[in-house]
Amino acid sequence: MKLSVLAAGALAIGMAFSGSALAQDTKVIGVSIPAATHGWAGGMNFHAQTTIKALEERYPNLDFVLSTASDPGQQVSDIEDMMATRNIDALVVLPFESEPLTGPIQRVKEAGKWVTVVDRGLSQENIEDLYVAGDNTAFGRVSGEFFKQKMPNGGKIVVLRGIPTTIDNERVEAFQKAIEGSGIEIIGMEHGNWNRDDAFEVMQDFLSKHAEINAVWASDDDMAVGVLEAINQANRQDQMWVLGGAGMKEMIKRVMDGDTMIPADVTYPPAMIGTAIELTALHFASNMPMSGRFIISSELITKDNAASFYYPDSPF
């Protein structure tokens, strides 16, 4: 492994001398994202691929290198390989985790490349040229406000959390703050890991444990699928409703159709990777200023506006 990386590195140095004339015209943009390990990431992979395909047609002098990593270590290697062998001019990266990726991304920046960071901020400021992200605090707050509005007299709810990460913590903290003083009581909170099967089992156990549950914050549409199935199995459909999140097409369809168990959804669009790649491409294709921060807000989807969030062709 080490040998092949070394060999590839030596090759790249050789190529850098011979290919320097060519590199002036064509700019290479590296895109490094986590692999499709859950529904949202699957949607994100889909949007990354479709955006790259569209941009390669639109700008013949832009080349793209896409790599997907299944853990932070692999992502670091991917980025090192891109620097060593593909001679990238820009890096669009959705970091697996903030801490382990901060150093490697900083070295890319120090080498004089353009850096776009997506969704998860780095642990040190002022490394990236462009930051494109969803708003996890808003995601939790919008969800909490919906509960408050839907349950003016308070009630008992259970919460399913995602994979233990900063993202999950920010969402849950904002949610708890939003429902403060509303009389809504969280009687159970467990990790469903953004996974349908885990959420199904956690919800089964919540239903065994609590005789009265008025609503569920599933906090993710994949988890909502498992939660709904567990509620159906227990025949308690008319006792509670479920709020997911992220904007999976099946869930938006149910909101659109006026399903009483799914009164709403909250967006956290996986297409934000497309926004980031587009803006990065524009930096090379135009003279317009592109550096800064681009925060995509989390919006509440209800029956009235669901149609404008419905993408039947997306896998998510």
Q: Residues interacting with another protein, by CB under 8 A?
A: 35-39, 41-43, 45-46, 161, 164, 188-191, 195-197, 200-202, 204-209, 222, 225-226, 229, 233-234, 250, 314-316
Distance between CA atoms of residues 215 and 182, nearest Å: 14
The answer to whether the beta carbons of residues 150 and 181 sit under 8 Å apart is no
Greatest pairwise CA separation for the chain in angstroms:
73
Q: Which is nearer to another protein, 34 or 144 (CB)?
A: 34
Say how many C-beta atoms besides its own lie within 10 A of residue 53's C-beta.
Answer: 11
Report, in Å, the least distance between residue 277 CB and another protein: 16
Report, in Å, the least distance between residue 261 CB and another protein: 16
Token representation of residue 258: 């006026």
Q: Which is nearer to another protein, 39 or 104 (CB)?
A: 39
Q: Which is nearer to another protein, 53 or 107 (CB)?
A: 53
Report, in Å, the least distance between residue 39 CB and another protein: 6
Q: Which is nearer to another protein, 80 or 229 (CB)?
A: 229
Residues in the chain: 316
Q: Which is nearer to another protein, 13 or 211 (CB)?
A: 211
Report, in Å, the least distance between residue 256 CB and another protein: 16
The answer to whether the beta carbons of residues 92 and 277 sit under 8 Å apart is yes
Distance between CA atoms of residues 183 and 190, nearest Å: 21
Find the radius of gyration of the CA atoms of the chain: 22
- Pairing type for strands 130-134 and 241-243 reads unpaired
Report, in Å, the least distance between residue 203 CB and another protein: 9
